[in-house]
Amino acid sequence: MKYSIDTMDFQYWDQIKEIYIEGIKTGNATFETEAPDRKEWDKNHFDSCRIVARKGDNILGWAALSPVSGRCVYSGVAEVSVYVSSKYQGMGIGTNLLKKLIELSEEQGFWTLQAGIFPENESSILLHKKCGFRKVGIRKKLGKMKIGNWRDVVLLERRSKKVGAN
């Protein structure tokens, strides 16, 4: 299937949000229980490094970076989000999104990307490892889901070989 990787355009917000909601419903993609509105999502993600996989007017998936801290020493460290519509999973879209996100992140001066993934989300862990992330460890009972169960989170990171390599 042919598709393009483009800068995120909020004219497609409804589709972007719907893909996020699909992830929420799996119970293994995020601690969130509902998707934020566009304004809130926009506020919590970097203006640069927001992309979508798009075929015509159909959004297949999206990826974006968010800050890990407001402290200046962490200005080159970002948290990765990658979501692919359930209709298009297993087609390499997540890999292409993550590879492009890594490329853009280095162009923007990010030296470390990190991801926190539930251990049950094996496909996401494999995707990140395939794109050069390494497992740092497991944060035990890091957060409690709204329904009350504690969740572990696998912490992965990717250190740039281009930015901050000296």
Exposed/middle/buried for 105, CB within 10 Å: 0-12, 13-18, 19+?
buried
Q: What is the CA radius of gyration of the chain?
A: 15
Select the more confidently predicted residue: 144 or 134: 134
* pLDDT band per the 50, 70, 90 thresholds, residue 86: very high
The predicted-structure confidence for 21-46, as pLDDT tens digits, reads as follows 999 999 889 989 899 999 999 999 99
How much is the pTM? 0.94
* pLDDT band per the 50, 70, 90 thresholds, residue 158: very high
Residue 58's contacts (CB-CB under 8 Å, 6 or more residues apart) are 15
Domain 4-159 coded CATH 3.40.630.30: yes
Indicate if the pLDDT at residue 3 is higher than 90: yes
Average pLDDT of 131-141?
Answer: 96
| Identity of residue 110 | F
Q: Rounded CA gap, 142 and 160, in Å?
A: 26
* pLDDT band per the 50, 70, 90 thresholds, residue 166: confident
Average pLDDT of 120-138?
Answer: 97
